[in-house]
Amino acid sequence: MRVRVIKTDGTAEPYLHTKVLGTFHHALSAAGEANLYAAEQMAQAVTYYLHSSPAARTVSSDEIHLMIQAVLQDTGHRAAAEALNQHRVQRKLLRRRIEVIDDSPAEEPSSTAWNKSEIVDYLIRRYHLNRSLARVIAGQVEERVFRMEVYRVRKGLIRQLVENETEAMLRAEEQLNITL
């Protein structure tokens, strides 16, 4: 049975065990408990549950987050569960704080809220990328914007970041295809 994950923007994507494994590992590492074996075992438990539960054909990313948090707490990794929750809250706050400023030459440029999904949709339209690759690129752009620690970002800068990340990703994909 294939499990689909409903993302916060409403899109669906296939469940990836590796994402859950990465989340466990990052949470444990953030709490100073980096233990890849423990992360693998906990991720395996979540994956097994999702694949064996008849009601879990689709699951929201929020539900997966809560499962991961519950497993961490129930296995004695309370600090990792708290670190995971803190990380998620911080990202939500950052997304809400960032304004995207229109590049139009108007006296008072308009602004919109940050929306990673708009980048995904743009990449799918412009480059005909699959949704998974577009989400990876959009995630990389979002990380760069977050690291800049600015709350007002011009659309032109976002376009430059998107183009740069897309070129780098497509170049890497091309190099992988050549070596395989």
At 89-116, the pLDDT tens digits run 999 999 999 999 998 776 777 899 999 9
Confidence category of residue 1, pLDDT binned at 50, 70, 90: low
Domain co-membership, 153 together with 111: yes
**End residue of a domain, out of 74, 93, 112:** 93
- 27 CB-contact burial (10 Å; exposed 0-12 / middle 13-18 / buried 19+): buried
Q: Alpha-carbon distance 133 to 139, whole Å?
A: 10
**End residue of a domain, out of 78, 93, 108:** 93
Domain co-membership, 104 together with 169: yes
Q: What are phi and psi of 49, to 5 degrees?
A: -60, -50
Domain co-membership, 69 together with 132: no
Q: Which amino acid is at 121?
A: D
Q: Which residue, chain included where needed, has tokens 């929020």?
A: 62
pLDDT at 108: 77
Helices (H) and strands (E) in the chain, counts: 7, 6
Give Rg (Cα) of the chain. 19
Q: Residue 3 in 3-state DSSP? A: coil
Domain co-membership, 18 together with 83: yes
More confident residue, 166 or 56: 166
Domain co-membership, 33 together with 76: yes
In the chain, the number of structural domains is 2
Domain co-membership, 87 together with 111: no
Average pLDDT of the chain, as a whole number: 92
Domain co-membership, 115 together with 55: no
pLDDT at 56: 64
pLDDT tens string 17-48: 999 999 999 999 999 999 999 999 999 999 99
Domain co-membership, 33 together with 65: yes
Domain co-membership, 86 together with 102: no
**End residue of a domain, out of 93, 128, 158:** 93
Q: What are phi and psi of 62, to 5 degrees?
A: -65, -40
Domain co-membership, 106 together with 128: yes
Structural domain harbouring 16: 4-93
Domain co-membership, 133 together with 88: no
What is the rounded end-to-end Cα distance, in angstroms, of the chain?
30
Q: State the DSSP code for 152.
A: E
Question: What H or E segment, with its residue span, contains residue 75?
Answer: none
